[in-house]
Amino acid sequence: MRIEEDVKLDFGDVLIRPKRSTLESRKDAVLIRTFNFKHSSHRWAGVPIIASNMDHTGTYEMNKSLHDYAMLTAICKFTTYAPLPNAIKTIGLDTNLDDIEYNPEWICLDVANGYTEKFMSFVEKMRHHEATKESIIIAGNVCTPEATEQIILAGADIVKIGIGPGSVCITRKLTGVGYPQLSATMECADAAHGLGGHIITDGGCTVVGDIAKSYGAGADFVMLGGMLAGHAECEGERVGNHRGSKMKFYGMSSEDAQITYYGEKQTHRAAEGKTVYVDYKGAVKNTVEEILGGLRSACTYAGAKTLKDLPKCTTFVRVNRQLNEVFS
């Protein structure tokens, strides 16, 4: 047993310090990024935001709406995959790679615990398999730089970062395992970029400012679940009247998810997700435009002409309180 004494930080522990900017208007901030990848020959340009591969948010309706803004959607692995633009195919460790069709441009190996030898071996198998060897491979989740490096060297182009920070994830409560998401992003981004790889910050963003902090900390992509929940493009039960209706939203390791997809709660595992009801928000368009507006403003405050420049322009300041919540 040992204790690391270094302070590890979450999004709520910091603010971005404003700096002199040459941008004349928020609209001049460029949010589109162009990516080349370490292993895949594919090239991608867009706003690097991804709808989470949960059954609530990882839908084709969400893909259709986010595609209009050059964003990505990770399609839930329990949904039949179709090769649409900016749609990411999600798989698990039980997938037979011989059954994969279409040679997907994007593919995500999504597991709760990316620290197992089986996971690392599967990433390597994906990189050399005929169906996926040219794909942009995303793999995760982990939260430490050593694992990030190992996954990239095994064949992944992008590593998904986050153990337990999600809004409907209770892994930290049940297991005591995790890592504050801002520090995880900073450390894993440094490890990935040193090898020519990329990372996704997955979980922990509760307001648009957290997305800006993720990019400032070095994230290449940000995956959103809770912030995109409750929209018309989401799947799930809707209850209540039109004005006050809510939508059911649960973690993919929750008891609800296990019963839905496996018929029962599996006796060998805890339910590491919870079920909540979120306010119905209508079309996701309004939320997306608020996110984009906030990111443009963040770039302007930090003096970054482009989203790609934001890490170079970001200085974080430690705070005891970041929001005035008197009317919250």
Matching residue, tokens 């005891």: 320
The domain tally of the chain equals 1
Token pair in block for residue 36: 């080349």
Kindly state whether residue 248 falls inside one of the protein's structural domains: no
Kindly state whether residue 260 falls inside one of the protein's structural domains: no
Neighbours of 22 (CB within 10 A): 8
pLDDT at residue 254 is higher than 90: no
pLDDT at residue 328, as a whole number: 76
Kindly state whether residue 253 falls inside one of the protein's structural domains: no
Report if pTM > 0.85: yes
Kindly state whether residue 199 falls inside one of the protein's structural domains: yes
Residues spanned by the domain of 147: 21-239+284-318
Q: Helical H runs in the chain? A: 60-67, 117-128, 145-154, 171-175, 181-194, 208-216, 255-262, 284-302, 310-313
pLDDT at residue 96, as a whole number: 97
- Among 169, 188, 299, 313, which one carries the catalytic annotation? 169
Question: Residues of the chain with pLDDT > 90: what percent?
Answer: 84
Q: By the 8 A CB rule, do 164 and 178 touch? A: yes
Does 269 or 288 have the greater pLDDT score? 288
Active site residue 169: yes
Kindly state whether residue 208 falls inside one of the protein's structural domains: yes
Strands (E), 132-291: 136-142, 158-161, 198-202, 221-224, 238-239, 246-250, 275-279
Taking each continuous run of H as one helix and of E as one strand, the counts in the chain are 9, 15
Span 178-184, mean pLDDT?
97
Question: Residues of the chain with pLDDT > 70: what percent?
Answer: 98
Q: By the 8 A CB rule, do 321 and 25 touch? A: no
Kindly state whether residue 11 falls inside one of the protein's structural domains: no
Strands 198-202 and 221-224, bridge-based pairing: parallel
pLDDT at residue 265, as a whole number: 65
Angle CA(135)–CA(58)–CA(208) in degrees, nearest 5?
100
Kindly state whether residue 247 falls inside one of the protein's structural domains: no
Kindly state whether residue 222 falls inside one of the protein's structural domains: yes
* pLDDT level of residue 266 (50, 70, 90 thresholds): low
**Domain CATH for 76:** 3.20.20.70
| pLDDT tens digits along 23-47 | 888 999 999 999 999 999 999 999 9
**d(Cα 93, Cα 110) in Å, to the nearest integer?**
8
